[in-house]
Structure 1
Amino acid sequence: MRSPNAAPQPDELDDISTGYALDAVFDPSLVTDDVDEYCWTPLQLAARTGDLLEVNRIISSAPNYGEAQATVNAPPTGYYGQTALQAACMRGHTDVVRALLNAGADIHAAGGNNSYRNAFEVACSVGNREIFDMLLAAGADVSPATITRYGGRTPLQAAAEGGHRELASRLIELGANVNAPASTSSGLTALQAAVWRQHHDIVRILLEHGANVNAPPARYKGLTALQAAALVGDMNMVDLLLDQDADINAPGSQLNGGTALHAAAAGGHVEIVEKLLKRGHNPNATAGWAKQTPVQSAFVVGRSDIVDVLIQAGATGPVAGGKILFTTVKRQTRNTINKPDETSLTS
């Protein structure tokens, strides 16, 4: 077996004679010794690459309609797998989507464990209007039951996160639940998603249709709308949400979460830190099971200026001893932070 760190070979995605191929050409990090974890059926692979001739050949080679449907609806494998229809939707292969629908593709089937998005949710995240309309005509649900799996999104949440204003408006017109709750882990409501991605036009549309500015964050790795705005450093969005009575001291997620002040401190946005303090944010708010303070969040990302601002505002307690709370900040700062000496922050 080849090492998981070995470079993918050019012919890996061309050789589908065994029925499966490693998903390596699009993301080399997925190469693994466990060949069953990240692999695709020939049809899923052809759909992913947009090979309509191969898609039609595979479907037509089935001995009967039942076998063809089984092939078309083969489940995804591993954490990041997709059905053939989801793969075609993700990459905008309209003709392939049409062929799969004609062959009986299940539009409601879920994706792999770490995406769990059905074809319509995938189409909404990508923003392809033609595929969106085809799936609607095939019976897609614009307002499904609560999505509970890791990173799940309703169609509206997916469209809001992707910045697709036309699709978001259409979904609202069709009755999509503007306030559908976020999935438990890494989930976002439609408003939280639009704020997080800084899609101001969609934020305003959602607010006009009753989006809850104080919807709680996902239990794990979530953000309130205000926490999201503070984390990305969007002062205009912070002001808008505060004007809409966003809860300035709302608690964060149990895992990798914090208040808006923690978020602004972790993101290194001193002006937003100052704004939140002036609006009454508690400088000694704590986050998570470790009861981390905003001062600790600023210190761990090397922002002595923010530490000083917080101390001047009345923050007390230890400076060191915290961790990077927010997953995105953790990715951005990995191997780049040189924490200052603690004594230099309080002198």
Structure 2
Amino acid sequence: MIAGARGRIRLAPSPADARWDPSTLPTEEADEEPRWTELQLASRDGDIQRINELLSRHKDNRMKLEIVNEPAIGYYGQTALQAACMKGHETVARALLEAGANVNAPGGNNIYRTAFELACGTGQIGLIRLLLDAGAVFDPKKVTRYQGRTPIQAAAEGGHEAAVLLLLERGANINAAASPSSGVTALQTACFEGHVSLVKLLIARGADVNGLPGKFSGYTALQGACLAGEVDIVRILLGEGVDVNAPGSLYSGGTALHAAASRGNMEIVKILLSAGADPNSAAGRRGQTPMQSAYLIGEMDIVHLLLEAGATGPLTGGKILFGNGRTRSWTESEVKIIR
């Protein structure tokens, strides 16, 4: 099946159909939208009857292998097995594996998510065990081009403690690095999502509280907790000796104090300052300060608090960090009053 420019889908005949002409299909360069085969669509929908019907058409094992392993096409395309695993269809996944599906096939060329990673994101233990027994790889060398995750990162994002424990028992790397762009480690995503008990579990199992953020727009564990306003997790991390002044990602990040200030969280700002956060730490290419982050969203109380803590420099000149779209325009007279 093929996703058109307006989201409509038309069926692509099987390659076995004599009328089917591959040259009529849009090329990857011309169309980066996902394009689906009949089997991929049926797998996504959990339609085991349709899947069995499609597979039974091909008595030749070589042809059946080709059909069941049709590659994912487009930025967000998926193989049949990946589509089934994303939706948690264990029965479908088992049928596809028995038909010869490649458990470690790459996903679409943007997200690059494997069937195993998608299964771990559902937290379904039976499905995860099925893929493990089929030879699923824990930490693929190429996680993603942009925003992909390792299986343990996927499980941690959903707060699936049983899945995380199973993966650790099978040898998963608890500190697997974040993907190059905006990916996060297992601990970082657990902190951002507010999974307190999972955060404790990961730290107890050796998770690095100072793991580096994704290069371009990721965050550290402490920055993630501050962004999400997770006070309890902030305290847990500080108790574990986290670097309160760790720098953020290259383009849109900042320190934990920047994160708290950019979200207007007075309680966390106070906690961080008490823990030694630098009120004059610079972030991004413009050297933005936490005070500028607070000023941008109109948090005058935080601006005053940071000034009392020794913040210096201009109020203007900052930009939105961490993707926060909340802003407040100030007049010159208001700036003088704040000062």
TM-score (norm 1): 0.86
Q: Which amino acid aligns with 1:109?
A: A
Q: Which of 153, 157, 172 is 2:168 aligned to?
A: 172
Matched with 2:213 is 217
Q: Which amino acid aligns with 2:224?
A: A
Q: Distance in 2 between matches of 1:323 and 1:223?
A: 17
Question: Cα–Cα, structure 1 residues 102 and 308, in superposed 2: closer, same or farther, change >3 Å?
Answer: same
Q: Distance in 2 between matches of 1:291 and 1:63?
A: 65
Q: Given the alignment of the two structures, is residue 80 of structure 1 paired with residue 91 of structure 2, yes or no?
A: no
Shift of 1:60: 2.1
Q: Distance in 2 between matches of 1:143 and 1:268?
A: 37
Q: Distance in 1 between matches of 2:106 and 2:252?
A: 26
Q: Distance in 2 between matches of 1:56 and 1:309?
A: 66
Question: Cα–Cα, structure 1 residues 146 and 208, in superposed 2: closer, same or farther, change >3 Å?
Answer: farther
Could you give the per-residue CA deviations for residues 286-339 of structure 1, whole angstroms, max 9, x where no partner exists?
112221111221222232222222222221222122221113x34xx4xxx443
Equivalent residues of 2:288, 2:318 under 8 A apart: yes
Q: Which of 86, 91, 104 is 1:90 aligned to?
A: 86
Q: Given the alignment of the two structures, is residue 188 of structure 1 paired with residue 188 of structure 2, yes or no?
A: no
Q: Which of 61, 71, 75 is 1:65 aligned to?
A: 61
Question: Cα–Cα, structure 1 residues 343 and 42, in superposed 2: closer, same or farther, change >3 Å?
Answer: farther
**Residue aligned with 1:121, SS:** helix
Name whichever of 54-63 and 262-271 sits farther off: 54-63
Q: Distance in 1 between matches of 2:54 and 2:298?
A: 56
Q: Distance in 2 between matches of 1:128 and 1:158?
A: 12
Q: Distance in 2 between matches of 1:275 and 1:165?
A: 28
**1:225-304 superposed matches below 5 A:** 225-304=221-300
Provide structure 1 residue ranges, at least 5 long, that are not aligned to the other structure.
21-33
Equivalent residues of 2:148, 2:179 under 8 A apart: yes
Name whichever of 223-232 and 134-143 sits farther off: 134-143
Shift of 1:35: 5.2
Equivalent residues of 2:111, 2:144 under 8 A apart: no
**Residue aligned with 2:246, SS:** coil
Matched with 2:11 is 16
Shift of 1:187: 1.1
Q: Which amino acid aligns with 1:307?
A: V
Equivalent residues of 2:184, 2:218 under 8 A apart: yes
Q: Given the alignment of the two structures, is residue 55 of structure 1 paired with residue 51 of structure 2, yes or no?
A: yes
Q: Which of 311, 326, 338 is 1:315 aligned to?
A: 311
Q: Distance in 2 between matches of 1:227 and 1:81?
A: 32
Q: Distance in 1 between matches of 2:304 and 2:110?
A: 40
Rg larger in structure: 2
Q: Distance in 1 between matches of 2:189 and 2:224?
A: 8
Matched with 1:112 is 108
In the alignment of these two chains, the number of paired residues is 321
Equivalent residues of 1:81, 1:111 under 8 A apart: yes
Shift of 1:3: 10
Name whichever of 171-180 and 308-317 sits farther off: 308-317
Q: Which of 326, 334, 338 is 1:344 aligned to?
A: 334
Question: Cα–Cα, structure 1 residues 187 and 61, in superposed 2: closer, same or farther, change >3 Å?
Answer: same
**Cα RMSD after superposing both structures:** 2.2
Shift of 1:142: 2.9
Q: Given the alignment of the two structures, is residue 206 of structure 1 paired with residue 202 of structure 2, yes or no?
A: yes
**Residue aligned with 2:65, SS:** helix
Q: Which of 301, 322, 331 is 1:305 aligned to?
A: 301
Provide structure 2 residue ranges, at least 5 long, that are not aligned to the other structure.
16-29
Equivalent residues of 2:75, 2:109 under 8 A apart: yes
Shift of 1:19: 6.6
Could you give the per-residue CA deviations for residues 249-293 of structure 1, whole angstroms, max 9, x where no partner exists?
100000211100111111221111111112211111111222111
Q: Given the alignment of the two structures, is residue 125 of structure 1 paired with residue 121 of structure 2, yes or no?
A: yes
Q: Which amino acid aligns with 1:16?
A: L
**Residue aligned with 1:158, SS:** helix
Question: Cα–Cα, structure 1 residues 194 and 50, in superposed 2: closer, same or farther, change >3 Å?
Answer: same
Equivalent residues of 1:304, 1:340 under 8 A apart: no
Shift of 1:168: 0.4
TM-score (norm 2): 0.88
Equivalent residues of 1:76, 1:83 under 8 A apart: yes
Could you give the per-residue CA deviations for residues 91-147 of structure 1, whole angstroms, max 9, x where no partner exists?
111221111111111111111233211111110011112211111111112344362
Name whichever of 286-295 and 221-230 sits farther off: 286-295
**Residue aligned with 2:283, SS:** coil
Q: Distance in 2 between matches of 1:65 and 1:342?
A: 75
Equivalent residues of 1:108, 1:119 under 8 A apart: yes
Equivalent residues of 1:180, 1:189 under 8 A apart: yes
